[in-house]
Structure 1
Amino acid sequence: MPNRRQFVIGSAAAAVATVSGGAALVSSSRGPSTSHPRASRRPGTGGPVATGVPRATSTNLTKFADSLRIPPVLIPGASLTIRQKAASVLLHSQLPPTPVWTYEGSFPGPTIEVSTEQRLKVAWLNEIGGAFPVTGIQVPFTDLDSILSPGRGSATRDASVAALPAWTVVHVHGAVTGGNNDGWTENGVSPGDAQLSEYPNGQRATGLWYHDHAMNITAFNVFAGLAGSLLVRDEEEAALNLPSGAYEIPLLINDRNLDTDDAGVPTGRLLHRIGYLDTGTASSPTRLNLPFIGPYNLVNGVIWPYLEVAPRWYRFRVLNGANTRPYTLRLQVENADGTTTPVTGALVQIGSDQGLLPSPVTLDAVTLAPAERADILIDFDAFRGKRLQLVNTNSNGPSPLGPEVMQFRVGATAVTDPFSLPATTSPSFVRLTRSAIPAGHTSRWIAFGTSDGTPLGHPEMWELSETASGYQAQDGDRLVRVTDQGGTLRTFRKEAAAFDDKVGFFVESSGWEVWNFLHLVGPGHPMHVHLLGFQALNRDVYTVSSATGPGTDVVTWTAGYDRVGALGDEEKGWKDTIRIEEHELVSVAGQFTGATGRFVYHCHILEHEDEGMMRPFVVAPREILDRMPHSAHHH
């Protein structure tokens, strides 16, 4: 059986856009102007070139053989049509072309740039044709190699994956927009139809991303290629004169596996290889499917790329776009003897998921769970003429092919660089504290458990409600008793877990809320709340135990405060996704403003999301909530 850490992993060419008003090439490297009467586009660059390169005869590909692909940039006017379409791309120069699903033929999709308060209407047009471009297989989990091995081996293709239709829903992750524009997971669009959405972009400068969110198949559609970046600009960001144009580069990092033929030679086709554990009994068999994690690291759709950089400051908009894999990214310098030496203090983080940090944070490494973003500055001047590797040092499921993610090749000749690192990056930033949150705020509790209460059960997400004094347990109850740092004991009852259970969270459209995420058992989870930009208040560690009874099929969990956990400075900014690890209680706070409707919150391990770790909630004005029946539990 897997150990705890292994189980966390296991279970754990230019775009051609149809644009309102026509298109023209971008003439300025500073990004969008304050008005956009017409749309502009800048072609993408880089990526593998297959000319004269011998095809791979095994799953061992040459590292750092291909230049980084830079997605095209779209600077739209008031409206934009983005086509979803099938395409073929090179992931590596030693591979045959790989079929993928894309936005505008680009893998990843074009980087969309808008100004704050610039209202944008997008028609996401589904023009995808042909069969699903990913081979799916399941293999019995015996150890990490069983799920991380490159290639298909002798496994049989999963016919249900091959039969998946091009049914898509686009969600702009982190966008403040109404529920009818958010990309409701069940509102799928088939080929020939379009999803019409409007984004007010009334939010601070930040790096968002758009990706597919179709119900029960998000993991497959994103895996097939449906993801891209969206950058919001504002005056505060512009005043910093940050590296821009060719010196501001999106890095969408993820992992993949490759299908192989009967001889073990890569076909170029993507492979969704997941393990499973049969954990039930002979009379009640159950199967636990483990989320995808792969051996090949990709950046902007290229396996182990390199980037030539000048010895100056660069800005990287880093996104963990993986289905499951967490990345702890750090730099190491290549030595003449073939060894590498870790670099300290070279990563300067100036922003997180939802905007700029108050001041730069100097780091040796940056950890990102799936869907988390980091706005990173690197000064390459100290590494003139050297080569640096960006590597993943996260211990969760290390790749058998090595930790390398990409390589930087630094020029040897000094250049003039007008940028200097400011002491303050966001003068407007205000750090939230519990005392500053309005007294009338709503506090919500969500727990993570497993179906059978063991670490190897199916992961579940439970909405909790506090029980009244003297509550008598009912058959089937799951009770959670929490003793906080001050010694106060509170008892909660599981109210809902499945997506289709009745809605339990009704949110006032301008209300302040504190969401408390408590980990009881099972793998860690990166939690994303749609619509809400929040700040983490605390990350505390609890001791957790469980016991059966009283009553039939009643399980009571006991969680007692143990110690303060680690909440890094880089996690204290505005976010929309937060990591919840084993036996942690993480509390986040924010205000719901500017939009109403039905939204979801969920684990951003995509296979967990698809298999039930997603719940709806409703945002409405207080006057509407007051007219809803008492059973809505909105008080």
Structure 2
Amino acid sequence: MRLTSQLGDRLARRGFLVGAGAVGTGAALGAGALLVGGGTARAAVPPRPDLMTAALGTPLDRIPGAVADAKARSARSGKRPGPAVTRAVRAAKELKPFRDPLPVPRVLRGRGGALTVSMREARLRLHSQLPPTRLWTYEGTHVGPTIEALRGRRLRIAWENDLKGDFPVPAVRVPFAYDPDLPLMWDRPGREGAPARGDVAALPPWTVVHLHGAVTGGGNDGWAENAILPGAAQLSEYPNKQSAAGLWYHDHAMHITHLNVMTGLGSGAYLIRDEEEKRLRLPSGEREIPLVVFDRNLDLDGDGEFTGDLLYKGIVVADDPYTLVRPFTGPFSMVNGVIWPYLDVAAGWYRFRALNAANNRPYLLKILDEDGKELPPEAFLVIGTDAGLLPKPDPVTGGIPLTPGERADLLVDFSRLRGQRLRLVNALPEPGARADLMQFRVESRADHGDFAPPKRLSPSFTPTSPAAAAAAPERLVIVTPVYPKDPELWEMEEVDAPKGDLPIDGIVQFEEADGTVRTFKRVAATFTDPVRFTVAAGSTERWRFLSLEKSAGAYPHPMHLHSVAFQGISRDVYDVSDFTFFEQDGGYGAGTSKPLKRLKAGELTAAERGRKDVIRLAPAELVTVAVRFEAPSGRFMHHCHIYEHEDMMMMRPFVVQPKAVMDLAPHGRTGQHGGHGAP
């Protein structure tokens, strides 16, 4: 009982910053709650508080009683929002939508197979009601220029760092508090009285460019630690030996990607063209437009007026024993670097290359007419996804889901909506956040173009069959829940079931679709752990991603592999309630107390069955993809594409080597197959 009392006391002292103030959570399971695993008694970690779950992405209406509890706490505290918060709410409402035209990035094409792109400072207006904003940019624009390349023609790019001066985005951390009468804290501009972080202000212009989706060698991929300072250039070679696709480039500097992208180094399109795409005669020129979507926050002065500066506002949802900060979302949606713009369009077909370049926010894109109705499916088609064209068009019937890093190649027919003003919206807004992203203003006169969507798009795409995927070598990657510490990315190897009681730290058991129970152990969990996955060049593997997050409404994890394309094979839904955290050796252990039960098969979209390099992993899901490693050899990374998550080590290296080289590895310790009996 003495052990029980000591552990209960420690838990009871831990506060989480929710509601009107710090709320102790030690009594949630009872101070004496114990788990027994491996013959040792340990204290269980109490459940995550409801409002903390809300702060991490779950809508409040999905958490029974959370709003009522928060209102009661707010009434008991007697605290009301201060004048700074009131001014922030007013300022957000005063910024008007659809006042500024959508910028269309200029196009760059390499001459003689070479191109130079400068990273440099610029001052730009993000909205006509705002003062100019100081940004770090690619070639002077908030969204970088569109780079076009031809399939099979090598392009060498010198990414020159011509940046200077102090870090242009102030950052603050604000304890989470909930007021049912106000927009949520991340959907309000301003610092809420918090001081600017000196550690962020001191950051140098240290950058590295990753061409997301490029099939290239490890030396050209934009390794996170290979960043450069002003006066240097990153020299990268892209073979472009891949199908026509909409790739994109962005900063990937180690530990600070989530901050660097805020400065303006967050996105630029890179389009690969090929003959298969050319034969389709898709809308082009002024009728092929990138739509780069992300959200930002804005700073205010002491009078509640916008300064023009962007603001990185981190919301602290727990502070003991670990500081947990909500990944960034903000109240102001931007398309191509402008807040709530508009685009004049002819009454005909357009091709839009949509990209979610947000840090954290998922989008469900819909186009609504003046009556709030969605476009008919025959007027809104998905023709491609991250890494290339689909076999055939897919009509949009419930919106386009995009997690960070995902792309959609879209065809839209405005001909039946002449003279109307349509809205592109996010159908997943949070309370207080504007759903609008941009407006389309359709001309009144008829368009006499003769384009018709092709019935077949990419005959060269040959999907991997489920049977072939099942026969391929397997990798298992697990994402742990948020709380009591930041989520982690675990690489796993299959082992025999352990003797003794569960849970045991790092041991996860789950049930397959056929009822077979399998046991895996954690072999790596941080970026600095040794490489465990070494892959034979040219091989196909089956990668599986399992989320142990319990909250069904939480934001999904976008899982990304560098330098490859993959195809979704299956999605399964699990009961993950038996994955447990417990106190161990002054920290936390985690594992399953009994095998996780499979509940049902989930669904893959048509896009997820196409060429992908990011796939959505929702809470309690197991997603399986078939990966073809066609890139040159080298060291690459796989990670969650929520920038804050990859920066806090939800990122792991993997290595691709020629098979003949792997066969000569001493003692076979390459982790080639990673399955039962691997080192």
TM-score by length of 1: 0.87
Match of 2:539 in 1: 511
1:385/1:174 Cα in 2 relative to 1: closer, same or farther (>3 Å)?
Answer: same
CA-to-aligned-CA distance 1:301-350 (integer Å, 9 cap, x gap) = 00000000000000000000000000101011125xxxx34434242100
Q: How far, CA to CA, are the matches of 2:139 and 2:348 in structure 1?
A: 32
Match of 1:83 in 2: 118
Return the match for 1:272 from 312, 336, 339. 312
**Shift of residue 408, structure 1, vs aligned partner:** 0.2
**Shift of residue 476, structure 1, vs aligned partner:** 6.6
CA-to-aligned-CA distance 1:578-606 (integer Å, 9 cap, x gap) = 01011000000021013111000000000
CA-to-aligned-CA distance 1:390-425 (integer Å, 9 cap, x gap) = 010115xx2624100000000000121121011111
1:551/1:260 Cα in 2 relative to 1: closer, same or farther (>3 Å)?
Answer: closer
Return the match for 2:57 from 9, 14, 27. 9
Q: In the alignment, is the contact (CA less than 8 A) between 2:385 and 2:408 conserved in 1?
A: yes
List structure 1 segments (4+ residues) > 4 angstroms apart after TM superposition: 1-5, 469-476, 547-554
**Shift of residue 150, structure 1, vs aligned partner:** 1.7
1:501/1:313 Cα in 2 relative to 1: closer, same or farther (>3 Å)?
Answer: same
Q: How far, CA to CA, are the matches of 1:480 and 1:594 in structure 2?
A: 32
Q: How far, CA to CA, are the matches of 1:350 and 1:497 in structure 2?
A: 37
Q: How far, CA to CA, are the matches of 1:475 and 1:496 in structure 2?
A: 18
Match of 1:374 in 2: 408
Q: In the alignment, is the contact (CA less than 8 A) between 1:128 and 1:191 conserved in 2?
A: yes
Return the match for 1:579 from 586, 611, 616. 616
Q: Which amino acid aligns with 1:212?
A: D
CA-to-aligned-CA distance 1:6-61 (integer Å, 9 cap, x gap) = 344289xxxxxxxxxxxxxxxxxxxxxxxxxxxxxxxxxxxxxxxxxxxx993321
Instruction: Classify the secondary structure of the residue corresponding to 1:123.
Output: strand
Match of 2:605 in 1: 568
1:242/1:356 Cα in 2 relative to 1: closer, same or farther (>3 Å)?
Answer: same
**Shift of residue 274, structure 1, vs aligned partner:** 1.3
Q: Which amino acid aligns with 1:443?
A: E
CA-to-aligned-CA distance 1:244-274 (integer Å, 9 cap, x gap) = 0000000000000001101111111010111
Q: In the alignment, is the contact (CA less than 8 A) between 1:138 and 1:275 conserved in 2?
A: yes
Q: How far, CA to CA, are the matches of 1:532 and 1:249 in structure 2?
A: 25
Match of 2:447 in 1: 415
Q: How does 1:74-473 map to 2 (within 5 A)?
A: 74-77=108-111, 78-143=113-178, 145-226=184-265, 227-278=267-318, 280=320, 285-335=321-371, 340-345=372-377, 346-364=379-397, 365-395=399-429, 398=430, 400-437=432-469, 439=471, 441-450=472-481, 455-468=483-496
Q: How far, CA to CA, are the matches of 1:517 and 1:152 in structure 2?
A: 37
Q: How far, CA to CA, are the matches of 1:247 and 1:168 in structure 2?
A: 33
**Shift of residue 218, structure 1, vs aligned partner:** 0.6
CA-to-aligned-CA distance 1:351-407 (integer Å, 9 cap, x gap) = 000000111111131010000000001000010000000010115xx2624100000
Instruction: Classify the secondary structure of the residue corresponding to 1:625.
Output: helix
1:551/1:86 Cα in 2 relative to 1: closer, same or farther (>3 Å)?
Answer: closer
Q: In the alignment, is the contact (CA less than 8 A) between 2:564 and 2:631 conserved in 1?
A: no
CA RMSD of aligned residues (A): 2.2
Match of 2:630 in 1: 593
Q: Does 1:65 align with 2:105?
A: no
Q: How far, CA to CA, are the matches of 2:283 and 2:566 in structure 1?
A: 27
Q: Which amino acid aligns with 1:382?
A: R
Q: How far, CA to CA, are the matches of 2:483 and 2:602 in structure 1?
A: 21
Q: How far, CA to CA, are the matches of 1:102 and 1:420 in structure 2?
A: 38
Q: Which amino acid aligns with 1:276?
A: V
**Shift of residue 473, structure 1, vs aligned partner:** 8.5
Q: In the alignment, is the contact (CA less than 8 A) between 2:322 and 2:485 conserved in 1?
A: no
Q: In the alignment, is the contact (CA less than 8 A) between 1:347 and 1:376 conserved in 2?
A: yes
1:480/1:474 Cα in 2 relative to 1: closer, same or farther (>3 Å)?
Answer: closer
Q: How far, CA to CA, are the matches of 1:377 and 1:136 in structure 2?
A: 39
Which of 109-118 and 146-155 deviates more?
146-155
Q: Structure 2 unaligned runs (5+)?
A: 1-48, 60-88, 674-679
Q: Structure 1 unaligned runs (5+)?
A: 12-55
Q: How far, CA to CA, are the matches of 2:641 and 2:261 in structure 1?
A: 12
**Shift of residue 627, structure 1, vs aligned partner:** 2.5
**Shift of residue 85, structure 1, vs aligned partner:** 0.6
Q: Which amino acid aligns with 1:634?
A: Q
1:421/1:547 Cα in 2 relative to 1: closer, same or farther (>3 Å)?
Answer: closer
Instruction: Classify the secondary structure of the residue corresponding to 1:427.
Output: coil
TM-score by length of 2: 0.82
**Shift of residue 571, structure 1, vs aligned partner:** 1.8
**Shift of residue 468, structure 1, vs aligned partner:** 3.0
Q: How far, CA to CA, are the matches of 1:487 and 1:238 in structure 2?
A: 48
Return the match for 1:528 from 560, 565, 581. 560
**Shift of residue 471, structure 1, vs aligned partner:** 6.1
